[in-house]
Amino acid sequence: MTITQLQYVLAVAEYQNFTHAAEKSFVTQPTLSMQIQKLEDELDVLIFDRSKKPIQLTAVGEKIVEQARNIVNESYRIQDIVDQEKGYIGGEYRLGIIPTIMPTLLPLFLKNFVKKYPKVNLKIEEQNTENLIEKLEEGHLDAAIAATPLENDHIIERALYYEPFVAYIPENHRLNKLKKVSISDLDIDDILLLEDGHCFRDGVINLCKAKKVYNDDHFQLESGSFETMMKLADEGLGMTLLPYLHTMDIREKQKRHLRYFEEPSPAREVSLIFHKSELKMHITEALKDTISAVVRGAIAFQNVKIVSPIQKK
């Protein structure tokens, strides 16, 4: 039994296809198939049911894959130990970021991080929270940045910052004359929301539940971007809520529509999350320190009330 064989098993389990798994593993399909067959012969069990399309794990195969993932992760830890002993911070690091954080946070820290740690090959992708958790659990991401808490037993959360919500209230709206707004002023029926799948949307709905129960059947407009929601608000179709960092880049004429909340301001907790196996922690810590340093100056709010995203079953 070899680590390479276990890696091939994990690839087939993920892609449910020998050809695709071979491509992703950068080997020929006959080589991958032969190594898995050798492992099955050695163990005297079938890991995969090849009669089904797509290929399925057998009952014992599911147990083998679970253990194989642990073994492969532990093998990577050896390189971690060597890197940390040498003080080396480099290599590939795969980072996921949710869409409502990526556009505002990435420009704040990326240049600093790349300059300070030029040997790190940072690969960044934008995914929603559900996909990020799945990729972390499967080992396809080293860390992610998302709104927390997530309450996932396999994921460790390290808070980076607390980002207040800011109301965007256009002229002629019932709340426009207020200097500051409170949670009790909000009415879910006239708040423009991000489309389903965004945790910021869930946080807003969760915030408004303090006043009334959210009803999915009422008329509402939903969008995939904050810019679109602000434009719709400007057309008199309601108000919206924005994360604080997003308000730093809007046009000057739009800033007059911003209203901050009475303290404690509702806010979301933004964290660096990673698998409990804690691989590549030397890079994770370097990333956390870099982000915390740049965001600390951008967000001066101290008295906040954390609004958790709604947990979907």
Domains and CATH numbers, the chain: 3-83 (1.10.10.10), 89-160+269-299 (3.40.190.10), 163-267 (3.40.190.10)
Q: Going by DSSP bridges, is the β-strand pair 258-261/265-275 parallel, antiparallel, or unpaired?
A: unpaired
Does 176 have pLDDT greater than 50? Answer: yes
Provide the sign of the torsion angle of the four alpha carbons 177, 198, 295, 228, taken in this order. Answer: negative
Q: What is the pLDDT of residue 84?
A: 75
* CA–CA gap between residue 255 and residue 250 (Å, rounded): 7
Confidence of residue 218 (pLDDT cuts 50, 70, 90): very low
Does 70 have pLDDT greater than 80? Answer: yes
Q: What is the pLDDT of residue 197?
A: 62
Confidence of residue 312 (pLDDT cuts 50, 70, 90): very low
Average pLDDT (48-58) is: 91
Residue 261: its H or E element = strand 258-261
Distances (CA, A) of 311 to 47, 102, 129, 150, 306: 34, 21, 11, 8, 15
pTM for this prediction: 0.76
Q: What is the pLDDT of residue 213?
A: 42
Q: What is the pLDDT of residue 299?
A: 80
Does 254 have pLDDT greater than 50? Answer: yes
Instruction: Report whether the peptide linkage leading into residue 170 is cis, meaning its omega lies within 30 degrees of zero.
Output: no
Q: Going by DSSP bridges, is the β-strand pair 155-168/56-57 parallel, antiparallel, or unpaired?
A: unpaired
Average pLDDT (139-165) is: 92
User: Dihedral, CA atoms, 247, 249, 114, 76, nearest 10 degrees?
Assistant: 40
Average pLDDT (97-102) is: 92
Mean pLDDT of the chain: 86
Q: Could you tell me what percentage of the chain is helix, strand and coil, using 3-state DSSP and rounding each to the nearest 5? A: 45, 20, 35
Q: What is the pLDDT of residue 310?
A: 57
* CA–CA gap between residue 265 and residue 145 (Å, rounded): 22
